[in-house]
Structure 1
Amino acid sequence: MTRVVSYNILAGGYSFRERGAKRTEQLLKIIRSAQPDIVGLPEGINPQVPGPMVAAELAEALGMQLVPGGLPTSRQDYQTAFMTRLPIVSVKHYDRPGILARPLLEVCVEEENGQHLTIFVIHLSASFNRGRAGGHIRMREMQEILKIMEPLRLAGKPHLLMGDFNTLSPKDAFTASALLKYVVGLDVKRKDKTLNDGHPYLDSVVPPKLRIFNPLLHIVARTPFLLALFDLAASIYAPRGCIRLLTREYQDCFRRLHPSEQGFTCPAAAPAGRIDYIFANSVLAERLEMCRVLETGEDDLPGEQASDHLAITAEFGAGVIADQPVTSSSDMSMHS
């Protein structure tokens, strides 16, 4: 049995609205509640903050190895990261300047029964303030990621893709009114307009040419009838293309086991949609035994006290052991 967790810990685990306070203990309570073997962190490391890193503290407390992802194209962005208690067989970073905003992180581990399992950790571009162009950016990223994973797919080797996709799945519900009220609330409380703390604000989701209507959005957020219209429009126009493309080749672990549940993951304080996923190839999906969203952690800690995303976890049974080449756990390869 192998249990994995995908968790966007927000800005590398720091709260910049609270003078850079760490959320290590809160995050540990969420992660430990799942008792994982593997943890993928889409916003695992904040390069702007000097060490010791929250991710390193998490790994040490959990008795896991930490693997940092490659540097993103923007110095203001966050690195992906990976933690595991299982032996690491290999690590690869895929840099695709002009295509991937953040390098794709690939880690192959050896499961307890000796099988090799390959995990890809991603954080797709948000670019919500670019309108439909943002959806095209994520589609381009997904097409490239599918190309990278193709050799494993053709070989039928177990692997999964997890992280923050910043995209809704086809047919999934979307309570845009909850998101709007959440974002407007953050905007009202925001004192430092230059603060980049990982939270969404109106300017980060509204295209520049439409920001003159920001005051109108404040009115919409307070008007039930307008909120209902906002939900209808957002549900129709919300981008879903890259998940539709991905599901042609991979199984959505949560939806496979929960066909009708919402499974909202973001924002944690006002869940409006599902944008955090664990996808498995067909071989691995046959081993899927559990997948759920972690709404609370140890001591019943609410997820919103740890991050702006809720974590998602999945468990895979042992399955049939296939013949595999013997590879030392110290064989670490880095590719661009």
Structure 2
Amino acid sequence: MTRVVSYNILAGGYSLREKGAKRTEQLLKIIRSADPDIVGLPEALNPIKFEGLTVVEEMAQALGMQLIEGGQTGSNRDYRTALMTRLPILSVKNHVRPGVLTRPLLEVCVEERSGQQLTIFVIHLAASFNRRWAGNHIRMREVREILNILAPFRAEGKPHILMGDFNTLAPKDDFTASALLKYVMRLDTRRKNIALQDGHPHLDSVVPRRLRFLNPVFRAVGQSDLLCKLFDLAAYFYAPRGPIRLLKEHYIDCFRYLHPHEQGFTCPAAAPAGRIDYVFADPTLIGRLEMCHVMVEGEDGFLGEHASDHLAMAAEFGLLVAPGVPSTPADNAISRT
């Protein structure tokens, strides 16, 4: 079987509020517990240059894996993607689309133990939450381009997986926006007006400029259970979901396929509010899908919230299609609704 993990490790595994302290060991406790063959890292390489090996280089060495770095982003403030694997690498390609993809789409083809070829794509879609629906339009543009890049794989029936941090919700998924709001406000309190691009959200990063006069109101929401419920209800209907709806026209959302009624929240790890990290499989792989779950904890019960602001997503694919595979449940089928 082949085990894959998608894991946003936050700022390349560095704690910038702690003078660049590395979280290598904490992250390894999470990753090792899955015993993965492939690890996709949407936020792997920090644009700030630190001395010595990077966190991902240290992790790759500790895990006995090869490290493939994603392409340059064109901005000195963006984090780059990467992938680690213990499987033989057959090819690597970075799909750079200036002005279309915020970060290049990383493509890595590996050879599974059965001799089959499997191609992994790792992406980190734009956040731009404070740009309201403009942020959603950016992600929609990115997803359309990704679907164009992956079109030949679909046409030729080549097994492939798309995973990473998509910064958006899936249709019908729950969203506890009040938990996210409380989390951001706690970070703002600890931030103390320090201008630090540390990967963590802050209130101005999620509230559009023209609505920032409402920040005192948002702070009041977290102090009232009733206001939290109303805020959650409004946010559920307001939150854009188009990018995932578009992807599900062509791909299987592995977690939702196996867990039609579980929340599966992945972010923020310390106060899970929504699911924005995904493993998508092309339909040729669905008969091989055996497991997909959110990694709340790692080795020795180590909590994921102490390693990153995202929880990792793990999936496992058998090497051969098992006989008598049940048909896709109606709620999880690829649809155009």
SS at match of 2:34: coil
Cα deviations by residue, 1:171-201 (Å, 9 ceiling, x for unpaired): 0000001001101111111024310100010
Larger CA deviation: 239-248 vs 44-53? 44-53
The residue aligned with 2:136 is: 135
Alignment of 1:15-26 (within 5 A): 15-26=15-26
Asked whether 1:27 is paired with 2:7, we answer no
Compute the displacement of 1:304 (Å).
0.3
**C-alpha displacement at 1:49, in angstroms?**
2.4
Deviations 1:274-301 (A, max 9, x none): 0000000000121100000000000111
Distance in 1 between residues matched to 2:279 and 2:239, nearest whole Å = 20
- 1:234 matched to 2:235? The reply is yes
Structure 1, unmatched stretches of 5+, are 321-336
Separation in structure 1 between the aligned mates of residue 250 and residue 287 of structure 2, nearest angstrom: 14
- Alpha-carbon deviations, 1:297-336, whole Å to 9, x = none? 001111000000000000000126xxxxxxxxxxxxxxxx
- Specify the SS of the correspondent of 1:145: helix
Q: State the alpha-carbon separation in 1 of the partners of residues 97 and 222 from structure 2.
A: 39
Mapped partners of 1:317, 1:110: distance in 2: 14
Could you tell me how far apart the structure 2 residues matched to 1:180 and 1:35 are?
A: 34
Question: Identity, % of aligned pairs?
Answer: 69
- Matched residues in 2 for 1:250 and 1:214: separation? 38
Which residue in the other structure is 1:330 paired with? none
Structure-1 separation of matches of 2:38 and 2:230:
41
CA positional deviation for 1:166: 0.3
Instruction: State the match for 2:326 in structure 1.
Output: none
C-alpha distance in 1 between matches for 2:47 and 2:64: 23
1:1-336 matches, within 5 Å, as 1-50=1-50, 51-319=52-320
Deviations 1:194-221 (A, max 9, x none): 1010001001101111112212211111
> Quick check: 125-134 or 213-222, which moved more?
213-222
Give, as a single letter, the amino acid of the residue that structure 2 aligns with 1:39: V
RMSD: 1.1
Using the alignment, how far apart are the partners of 1:49 and 1:168 within structure 2? 32
Distance in 1, Cα, partners of 2:10 & 2:219:
25
- Partners of 2:80 and 2:14 in 1: CA distance: 13
Letter in 1 for 2:278: Y
SS in 2 for 1:122: strand
Q: 1:278 aligns to what SS in structure 2?
A: strand
What letter corresponds to residue 206 of structure 1 in structure 2? V
Deviates more, 1:308-317 or 1:223-232: 223-232
1:81 is paired with a residue of what secondary structure? Answer: strand
The separation in 2 between residues aligned to 1:72 and 1:215, in whole angstroms, is 35
1:22 maps to a residue whose letter is K
Q: Hey, what's the Cα distance between the residues in 2 that align with 1:226 and 1:235?
A: 14
Cα distance in 2 for partners of 1:251, 1:98 equals: 28
Q: 1:328 is matched with which residue? A: none
Secondary structure at the aligned position of 2:257 is classed as helix
Q: What is the distance in 2 between the residues matched to 1:150 and 1:305?
A: 38
The C-alpha deviation readout for 1:2-21, integer Å capped at 9, x for no partner, is 00000000000001111111
- Return 5+ residue gaps in structure 2 as ranges: 322-337
- Partners in 1 of 2:4 and 2:319 — Cα distance? 14
Q: SS of 1:48's equivalent?
A: coil
Q: Determine the structure 1 residue equivalent to 2:335.
A: none
The 1-side partners of 2:60 and 2:108 are apart by 16
Q: Which residue pairs with 2:332 in the alignment?
A: none
Q: Aligned partners of 1:72, 1:230: CA distance in 2, in Å?
A: 35
SS of the equivalent of 1:33 reads helix
Structure-1 separation of matches of 2:58 and 2:8:
16
Which residue in the other structure is 1:326 paired with?
none
User: Which shows bigger deviation, 265-274 or 212-221?
Assistant: 212-221
Aligned equivalents of 2:235, 2:194: Cα separation in 1? 26
Give the aligned length. Answer: 321
TM-score calculated relative to the size of structure 1: 0.94
